[in-house]
Structure 1
């Protein structure tokens, strides 16, 4: 006789498929384990006795062994999900994540589909930040998808604990303060943020900052310890100058210096406009345009050195 130790998530059908190559092996398990029934919920580490060498489908057993497959479908509780609010955002997460968390505050209601078999979660937002914790109750093969349905104005959102690989906003989302630390994702979805005056992307890997150009109310951008190329900073800073418009002064913490020298750029001989060719020249223009600093001075912190209005 053989002894088998149950692993996490296995039910009696999984064990039969693993040992015998067919769920018909349940009969042998029931004979050798008198206390076992089809309704028994197996526990992790529970030992079961089986007839050693008795295999019903050798091809299945061999295939699973060759590919390291151990069936563990578990007992699932599937809930119907109904949402009353418009869909606002979709997040893609690594399939390897077991649990996630995020923090929200504001006014209104948030409904969440966690992308597993759990019931939809409804959150009534308040002034005090509320931390959402979720442990996934099922596995996925590729990316996990989380959906937010909301009719709300967010005072603060911290998505760092979700570690998303992508965030897609499906409608304009009012978020005053947004935190997303130590992540690696494209910021394309941030083009339709509204009312945002503070963004913290410290420690993140960023390939493009241009989606933030239209965040004209931004007053603080924290990129400290972010992994970002100087040329990406150049493109963003030059775009800010080119599309300045009605914009608030901002305090930026940069992880590296943009390219070029901090100096007044050359002017076009025909139009008299600056010909900005580097990020440091863009910073010079921002700080020396009086009208852009009347309501408050711009600041750029680079390598613990502060560049601001003289």
Structure 2
């Protein structure tokens, strides 16, 4: 058993998300602390008992630690405002920002908690891309934007979080066909629960690892002008594709970072495996040079 000390402005749902990576961890908190119920108010410094081996989503918990994020909704009890919708993802944004936005298209209704004193905003997704904009009405030391919705009905055909300029942390799997976030330093850990994604645009970002999207069956991946924090990032990703290809779709990848010899060796395997290039073919644009099966281009 572990002991958790309640942080300022936290409620039970915040603690559950922090400890277990999912608000479903609330049930372990209630079982482990019989004096609590769904409407209990928490006090800063209060100690709660929890099961340390009951983590429901390790990637979310790890990202909280990595980004030094502590979920805290304060006295507003934002979670109690939602009529049964799931917390899908949250974004930690710069507290100094006065304005933020993101672009979205799809199906269903999403509910946005902007992390200030405004009411929850309900947005009906449409086929056409909408730009969702918001001016913050307060000042705070840290700000978290939370997105809720019915994961059975909500589907993002396009999601562009460039304007949010923050780390995206997924709390539940959600369908996202096309995703973009550009011109920022970026961790991809939050994308690991995207479902059905076939197109990702990350151009001009700074990335530490591509492995969180390693299992995605993408058709397009734009890594143009990306700054990789580690020299082996591209090579590791290419070798991961070879080792875990399975039935993924052929993908077109744009790179302006040269793979090393082992990266090119992985590309060579990908392009010369007939079963991986049947319905369509893999294509690599590396510094404007096209590599594809049987095009006469020598792989380094």
Normalised to the residue count of structure 2, the TM-score between the two structures is: 0.69
Q: Match of 1:199, SS? A: strand
Q: Residue 190 of structure 1: CA displacement?
A: 1.1
In the other structure, the counterpart of 1:155 is: 157
Deviation at 1:185, TM superposition (A): 2.1
Partners in 1 of 2:116 and 2:292 — Cα distance? 49
Three-state SS of the structure 2 residue aligned to 1:235 is helix
Residue 230 (structure 1) shift: 4.0
Paired position in structure 1 for 2:114:
114
| Offset at residue 210 of structure 1 (A) | 0.1
Which secondary structure state, in structure 1, belongs to the residue aligned with residue 185 of structure 2? coil
1:168-247 aligned within 5 A: 168-216=169-217, 218-228=218-228, 229-247=230-248
Runs of 4+ in 1 over 6 A off after TM superposition: none
Checking the alignment, whether the CA contact within 8 Å between 1:174 and 1:196 is kept in structure 2 is yes
- In 1: Cα distance, 2:170 partner to 2:126 partner: 22
Change (3 A) 1:283 1:230: farther
Matches within 5 A, 1:1-150: 81=78, 82-84=81-83, 85-141=85-141, 143-150=142-149
1-structure distance, mates of 2:149, 2:216:
21
Within 5 A, what are the aligned runs for 1:235-274? Answer: 235-260=236-261
Q: Is the 8 A contact 1:89 1:168 kept in 2?
A: yes
CA distance in 2, matches of 1:96, 1:185: 19
User: Is residue 104–residue 154 contact of structure 1 (8 Å, CA) maintained in 2?
Assistant: yes
What SS does the corresponding residue of 2:192 show, helix, strand or coil? helix
CA distance in 2 between counterparts of 1:186 and 1:115 reads 21
Aligned to 1:59: none
Tell me by how many angstroms 1:220 deviates. 0.1
Q: Deviations over 1:254-290 (max 9, x none)?
A: 1211111xxxxxxxxxxxxxxxxx1111001000000
CA shift at 1:167, angstroms? 1.2
Deviations 1:98-140 (A, max 9, x none): 1111011111010000011111100011101111010111111
- Please state how far the C-alpha of 1:189 moved relative to its aligned partner: 1.6
Q: CA separation of 1:296/1:210 partners in 2, compared to 1, >3 Å: closer, same or farther?
A: same
Cα distance between partner residues in 1 of 2:203 and 2:274 = 30
Q: Using the alignment, how far apart are the partners of 1:190 and 1:212 within structure 2?
A: 7
Paired position in structure 2 for 1:43: none
Aligned residues: 213
> Shift of the alpha carbon at 1:184?
1.1
